[in-house]
Structure 1
Amino acid sequence: MLLPTILLLILLSFMRKSLRKNIDHAEWAKIATGGIILSVGLILLHSSVRPSQPWVAWFSYGLITVLVYYIFTRPPLFSLKPLFLALSPMLAVNFLESLTKLISYSFYKEWDDYFNIAELLAMIWMIAMLVSNNKQRKALEAERLKNEAKEKEYRITEQLKAQLEVQVNERTAELTLQKEELQQALDELTATQAQLVHSEKMASLGELTAGIAHEIQNPLNFVNNFSEVSNELIAEMKEEIARGNFEEANAIAADVQQNLEKINHHGKRADAIVKGMLQHSRKSNGLKEPTDINVLADEYVRLCYHGLRAKDKSFNATIKTDFGDDIGTINIVSQDIGRVIMNLLTNAFYAVNARRAKQEEGYKPTVSVITRKADNEVLIKVSDNGMGIPAEVIDKIFQPFFTTKPTGQGTGLGLSLSYDIVTKGHGGDLEVETSEGAGTSFTIRLPIIN
C-alpha cells in the first residue's frame, strides 16, 4: 500500500528539482518541499504502525489527485506531465487493486493474477516512458544548454560589437584629426612650395639683372647717340632753310627721319626687355600663346651670358647658336619655357666656368643652343663642355632640392621645376646626356599643338 505514497514522493521530488532553480517559481518549490516532508512522514507512519493503515494510501491518492489538477492547469508544472503519464498506468492499476480489495476481498483474490500482470505491464510502461522521457529531457537539456551557449555567444558578440563600434568611432575620430592635421600640413607645404618657387623665380631674375641691364643699356646708348645726332642735323637743317637751300634741308630731314626710326626701334627693344623681365617675375597664368622659340632662346642666351659676365669680368665663353628656320611659332607658355631655357643655360655657364677655374691647358668654355623641328615636336638642345654630371647622381638631378653646387649657390629647384614645366605643363619631355669630363646636353622636347 506504500506505492501511491512513493509515486507521490517521486512526483514531488521531480517538481521541487525542476522549480528550485527558477526564482519566479520559488513558492511552488516550497510547496513541493512541504509535500515531500509529508510523504516521508506518511511512509514512516505506515511502516511503524501495525497493522498497516489503508487510509495512508487513500490520503496519498487524494494528494496525487490535487497535484495532477495543478500539473494540467498551472504552466510552471507543465514539465511534470511526461512523468505523470509514465506513472499513470501504475497509479491506475494500484488504485483499482486497492478499490477492489476494499469492496470485495474475495473478488480481489480471484483476479489477483490479472492485477499482477497489469502491474507488470504498468511497470514496463513506466520504465519505458521514464527512459524515453530521460532521453527527451537530456535532449532538451542539451538543446537548452546549446541555446544558452548561443545566447551567451550572442551577448558576447554584441558586447564585442559595441566595443568594436566604440573603437571604430575613436579610431575614426583619430583618423579625422590626423586627416585635418595632414591637410593643414599639406596646405602649409603647398604654401611653402609656392614661396620656394617664387623665391627660385626671383633668384633666377636676380641672375638676369646684370644681363638685363646690359641689354637695356645697348638700345639706350643707340637712343642717346641718335638723339644727339638728330639734334645736330636739325640745327644744320634750320641753317640750310635760312639760306634757302631746300634741297639740302630735305636731305637732312630724311637723315633725321631715319634716326627717329632707329630710336623707335631701339626704344621698342628696351620696352620688350622690360616687359619680359616683368613677365618673368609675375606668377604664370598657364595660358599658351604662339611663341617664336628662336627669338625666346636667343634672348635668354644673351641675358644669361651678360648676367654672368657682369658678376665675373674674367669669364668668357664661346656661344654657338644654331636655330632652325622652319620652326615658326608654337603654342607654349613662353614665360615658363623661358624659365626652363634660362635654368639650363645658367647651369651650362656654371659648368664651363667651374671647369675654366681649373685652368686646364687648351680648354675653351663653349655653350651651344640648337633648335630643330622634328616630326610633330620642337627640340631645344642646350649643351656645354663642362665637367659633366657624375654617374652616381644622374638619377637624382630632377629631384626637388638636389644640387651638386656648393651650399648657398643653388636651391636644388631649378631642374625639378623645369622638368615639371616641360612634362606636366606642356606634355613634353626633358632628357639629359652627360659624359664625365666631356660635358652635358639637355634636350627639351615640346609637342606641336595647334
Structure 2
Amino acid sequence: MYFFPLIAAFLLALRINKAIKFTALRSKWRWPLNILGGIAIAFILLDKQVDEDRLLLISAVYLLAVVEYLKRQEDFKSFTVLLNAYLPLVGTAMISALTARVAPTFYENNEAFFICGQLAAFSWIYLRLSTSKKQQQELRRISERRDELEAMVAARTAEITKQRNELQETVKELQATQAQLIQQEKLASLGELTAGIAHEIQNPLNFVNNFSEVSMELIDEMEAEMAKGDMEEANAIAADIKQNLEKIRHHGQRADGIVKGMLQHSRASSNVKEPTNLNTIADEYFRLAYHGLRAKDKSFNAELVANLDPNLPSINIVSQDVGRVLLNMFTNAFYAVHQKQKTIGGDFKPRVEVSTRVIPAPPSGGGGAQVEIMVKDNGSGIPDAIKDKIMQPFFTTKPAGEGTGLGLSLSYDIIVKAHKGHININSKEGEGSEFIITLPVA
C-alpha cells in the first residue's frame, strides 16, 4: 500500500506531460515532469531499504510536495481541479503512516480499513482523471465548434458587408433615379404650363405694343403742338404719354414675372423659405393651368372661381415648391372636369374653384394660426377604393402617357414633410373633389 502515493505522483506527471504534448509548454516542462515521475519510481525501488510505514509517509509528503508545487505554477492553473483530486490520497496515506508508527497494534488490527481508504482515494483520482479527460475532449470539441462558428461568422460578416456595400450603391442609384424622376415631373408640368404661359404673356405684350404705338402717335402730336407754341396742349399730351409709359412698365413687369416663374418652376428647388403671398401664387397658376388645357382643346371652357382672402398674411414657404403643388392640384382639377365634360356632353358645365382663408389659432392653445387653400371641382370625383392610394408614388388614374404618377406624391412630400402642413381630400364619386391644403403661418 505504500506505493499508492508514488504511483499517483508518477501518473500525475505522466498525465500533465500528455496534456501539454501539443502545446508551447511542452518544451518548458517536459524534463521537469519526467524528473518528478522518475523520483517517484526511485522511491518505489527503496522498498527494501526503508520501513513501509516510513516510506508511506515519505510517499505522501512527496505527493503533497508535487501537487503544491504544480498548483503554484501559472502554467498549470487550468489543472487546479485535477491537482486537488490528489489531496484525499495524501491525507489517507499520512494518517495510515502516522497511525502505523504511533499505534502499531491498532493499525495491524485495522489495516484493511486503512488500505481501503487509500484505495478509495486512489479510485477518486482515477475517476477525476477519467472525468477530466472527458471534459477536455468536450472542451476540445467546443473549441473546434467555436472555431468553426467563428469562421462561419467571419464569412457571414464578409457577406453582410458586401451586401451592405451593394445596398448602399443601390440606394445611391435610387436617390439619383428619384432626383431624375422629380426633374422629369417638373419638366412634364412645365410642358403643361407652356401653352398657358404663351397665352398669359401675350396679354401684357399686346398692352406693351398697343401703348407703345399710341405713345408714338402722342409724341408726334406733342411735337406739332410745340411747333405751334401751344404749350398747354403739349403738356397735356406729355401727361398722357407718362400714363402710357407707366402702363407699359406695369405690363412689362407682368411679362417678366411670368417668365421668372417659369424659370423657377424648371429649376431645382433652393429649399430657402421666404415670406410669400399665397394669393399671388394661387391666382397665377390657376389661370396658367386653365389656359394650358385650353391650348390643347380649344372647345374646352370652364367657370373659374377665385375667392382669395385679401387679408391673407405672408407665410414662409419655398414658393416654387408650393407653386408646383398648386399647379398640380389645378391641372388635376381641370383634367377631371374636362374628362367629365367629354363623357356627359354639352349639358355639363365645368367649374373649378380656388379659395384661401386664415384659420385663427384655437383659444385653448395647441397650435398656431394656419392658412388654408382649397381647390374644388365638379368633376368625376375619386372612387373610395383608391382614395388611400392616390398619394402613393407612381399611382395614377390617367391613361398611359398622360401622367407620371408623381404629382400628388411630390405634393405630399412638399406640404407635409417639408412645410409641416396637411393635405386633406374630400371627394364623392361622380360629384367632384376638394383638395384642402393647410400651412402654418409661423
TM-score interval w.r.t. the shorter chain?
Answer: 0.7 to 0.9
1:86/1:126 contact within 8 Å kept: no
How far is 1:160 from its partner? 3.2
CA–CA separation in structure 2 for the residues paired with 1:19 and 1:330: 93
Q: Equivalents in 1 of 2:199, 2:211: separation in Å?
A: 19
Deviations 1:189-219 (A, max 9, x none): 1111011111101111111011111111111
What do residues 150-173 of structure 1 show as CA deviations (whole Å, max 9, x unaligned)? 434443333333333333332222
One-letter amino acid of the structure 2 residue matched with residue 433 of structure 1? N
Deviations 1:350-405 (A, max 9, x none): 10111111134621111110111111001100011111111111101111111111
Question: 1:292: how far off?
Answer: 1.2
Match of 1:206 in 2: 191
Tell me by how many angstroms 1:225 deviates. 0.8
2:218 is paired with a residue whose SS is helix
Partner of 2:22: none
Shift of 1:124: 3.8
Shift of 1:15: 4.5
- In the other structure, the counterpart of 1:355 is 340
Q: Are the aligned partners of 2:60 and 2:93 in contact in 1 as well (CA < 8 Å)?
A: no
**What code does the residue aligned with 2:213 have?**
E
Matched, 1:436 2:429: yes
Which residue in 1 is equivalent to 2:359?
Answer: 374
Q: Is the 8 A contact 1:428 1:445 kept in 2?
A: yes
Identity of aligned residues (%): 48
Specify which of 278, 286, 302 is matched with residue 317 of structure 1: 302
- What is the aligned partner in structure 1 of residue 110 from structure 2? 125
In structure 2, the CA distance between the partners of 1:304 and 1:228, relative to structure 1 (3 Å rule), is same
Computed over aligned residues only, the root mean square deviation of the Cα atoms, in angstroms, reads: 3.5
- 2:397 matched residue in structure 1: 404
Kindly state the Cα deviation for residue 61 of structure 1 after the two structures are TM-superposed.
4.2
Q: TM-score, normalised by structure 1?
A: 0.77
**Any unmatched runs of 5+ in structure 2?**
19-32, 67-85, 361-368
C-alpha deviation, 1:136, in angstroms: 1.9
Which residue is equivalent to 1:106?
A: none
SS of equivalent residue, structure 2 residue 344 = coil
Is the aligned partner of 1:386 residue 2:379?
Answer: yes
Residue of structure 2 in register with 1:253 after alignment: 238
SS in 2 for 1:357: helix
Asked whether the 8 Å contact 2:8–2:63 carries over to 1, the reply is: no
What displacement does 1:72 show? 7.1
d(CA) in 1 for partners of 2:380, 2:92: 108
- Deviation (angstroms), 1:224: 0.7
Please give the alpha-carbon distance, in whole angstroms, between the structure 2 residues aligned to 1:331 and 1:77.
Answer: 90
Q: CA deviation at 1:340?
A: 0.6
CA contact 1:15–1:77 (8 Å) conserved in 2: no
Q: What is the CA distance between 1:344 and its match in structure 2?
A: 0.4
Q: For 1:126-141, what aligned pairs fall within 5 Å after superposition? A: 126-141=111-126
Contact 2:196 2:289 (C-alpha < 8 Å) held by counterparts: yes
Tell me, which stretches of 5 or more residues in structure 1 are unaligned? Answer: 1-6, 36-58, 93-117
What SS class does the counterpart of residue 397 from structure 2 fall into?
coil
Q: Is the 8 A contact 1:89 1:125 kept in 2?
A: no
Map 1:321-332 to 2 at 5 A: 321-332=306-317
The alpha-carbon distance between structure 1 residues 404 and 89, as it changes in their structure 2 partners (threshold 3 A), is closer
Aligned residue pairs total 393
Write 1 or 2 for the structure with the bigger share of helix: 1
Confirm or deny: 8 A CA contact 1:291 1:334 kept in the other structure. Answer: yes
Aligned residues of 1:208 and 1:303 also touching (Cα < 8 A): yes
1:68 and 1:290, CA in 2 relative to 1: closer, same or farther beyond 3 A? same
Q: Does 1:169 align with 2:162?
A: no
Which stretch shifts more, 433-442 or 360-369? 360-369
Shift in CA distance, 134/254, structure 1 to aligned 2, threshold 3 Å: same
What is the match of residue 395 of structure 1? 388
8 Å CA contact retained: 2:99, 2:107: yes
- Residues 151 and 280 from structure 1, CA distance in 2 versus in 1: closer, same or farther, beyond 3 angstroms? same
